[in-house]
A and B are shown apart, each in its own frame.
Chain A
Amino acid sequence: MAKRSAAVVGLAEWKPERVWPRPMFSLEACAELAALALADAGVEKREVDGLCIGGIYESPLFGPSAAAEYLGIHANFAETVDLGGATSAGMLWRAAAAIEVGACETVLVLCPSIPPPRPDGAKRGKLDFPIYLGGDAWGSPQGAFEIPAGLVAATPSFAMVAQRYMARYGLREETLAKIAVDARYNAQFNPDAIFYGKPITLEDVMQSRRVADPLKLLEIVMPCFGGGALLVTTAERAARARHRPVFVAGFGEHLTHKSITYAPDLLDNPIRVAAERAFRMAGISHAAVDVVQPYDCFTITVLVTLENAGFCGKGEGERFVTERSLRWDGDFPLNTHGGQLGAGQAGTAGGLSHLTEAVRQLQGRAGARQLKKCDVAYANGTGGMMAEQVAVILQGA
């Protein structure tokens, strides 16, 4: 039986941008996103007693209390979630679980990913990510054994997943390219997508430059700035909210490794266990899912996720992707907002976009790309190198 104790009732999402026009501190961004999500839901701020946040740049430690203080929230539940691209999905189930056990009643999930104002008053801000994403910390195994081997950033790691897939099952590069083309098609129906107004062809993808074989430039997300939020509350309060309540019907989380080198199996990914747990918890079958919103940092991520999450069998991804249309108006609507491949990867808000779009589809608010029928959505996050993965099943009331 699907869980119906906690529901998403409101959301906020900034349009992703390559250059962020309004630099803001994380706490300021949290305050604005919170105001937007509360207004969207028609819920009063005084009802909020829970916070899930990512990193707060101006408070590297004690982030939850910094956010509670800044937003004026007396929290009964507050935590920082650190799961890379799976952070937002991890926040959503933590919020729902906290509500279900009665730890709190209404939780703000906040994902700001924008640059702070510069001390010199310059208009353009930039986010300074440490070059090796912290993998070079003293004592870090990654710092001693991966970075000196040249394994840095994410693309080479996912490229090795793709190469292993090709050796194991055989895979044409055109199949991966189609995933990027279908994502870009969907982005043409999302005015907020970074690639709105910029469709691409299979040939464009195939001819884009190789970055880490077999992955090519147009199979890789565009990093950008943005932010988003979700408001999660009890079923009782959700019934009084403005929009159709979206129940967190099931969820699963699984992680086994940080570096792709030590993944137990490059093609048997953590999302297999996470999705199995989510579907079992929800008591919902794959066939009942109306929209599939998998994390798509790279094209290969989508292919192996479809297999591992059980939408097709192992090694069947190529046939599935080739025979089905992944377009919002096709026979297997996938990442109807364009995914991050089409809409842009705005830090943790990029991962959140798979959830906000699922909520929009379930609430009938997806505009030009609205599905005719949408009652059940599957979404997942993928952090690091196919490392931390979180699946959620969402169901409209």
Chain B
Amino acid sequence: MKHSVVFCVLVAVLLATFDAAAQAAKPSIVVASTTSTEQSGLFAQLLPAFTRASGIEVRVVAVGTGQALDLARRGDADVVLVHDLAAEEKFVADGFGVKRYPVMYNDFVLVGPKADPPGARGLGIIPALAKIEAAKAPFVSRGDKSGTHAAERRLWTEAGFAAPKGDWYRETGSGMGPTLNVASGMNAYTLSDRGTWLSFRNRGELVVLVEGDERLINPYGVMLVNPAKHPHVKAAAGQAFIDWLISPQGQAAIGAYTIDGEPLFVPNYRGE
């Protein structure tokens, strides 16, 4: 039964992500990106504006950060827009990306039960995780090798627990929305990107307990897939998309996207 539930949870990732955002006009580019940018609604706001400005259609394949970089390494995308700084720098260093441009950031929040028995509320993220571990309070991890999962593991390592184990630590192996649902059902702690949290309605007793720690900043980078590795890459159109994202118009469009009046992403391109 548990397997079938997990399967149902996983089943829809595909075409939310896989075929997303394709329309008829040409030319077009393929952007490999993350479920968080797609499901937060940001692309629905940005891409029509870019297409109006450039005449270029953007077709998005939205998967986890690791999978997006894998697709780009194989030449299945022209541009990659993800959030795992270390993996992005390696992607460029290995010659698969031409250059990494910082484009925006959002932040993570630690959410958990309103009652907060371990007393994590208002602490920095590292002491908050230490309190949760000490109390063996239920914590739900994405466990899916996504950028969010990678960030969570880095924070646990920094807190001195490289590999949390035990009944209190559960991995869902799925996206942010399903993971929040599990956390809500268990009244457990979890690390969420702010965008998904803001658009998440089934909160139950969960509230934000830790936010604002600089360790919780989640930077996004955009890179053209290297045409020297994959000659079919649409380099001019792909670079046009990047140039638009980091232009004043693109940066303003990113900053203007809000949910419930709260911005989801902060543009942060500062020039060369």
Q: Do A and B come from one complex?
A: no
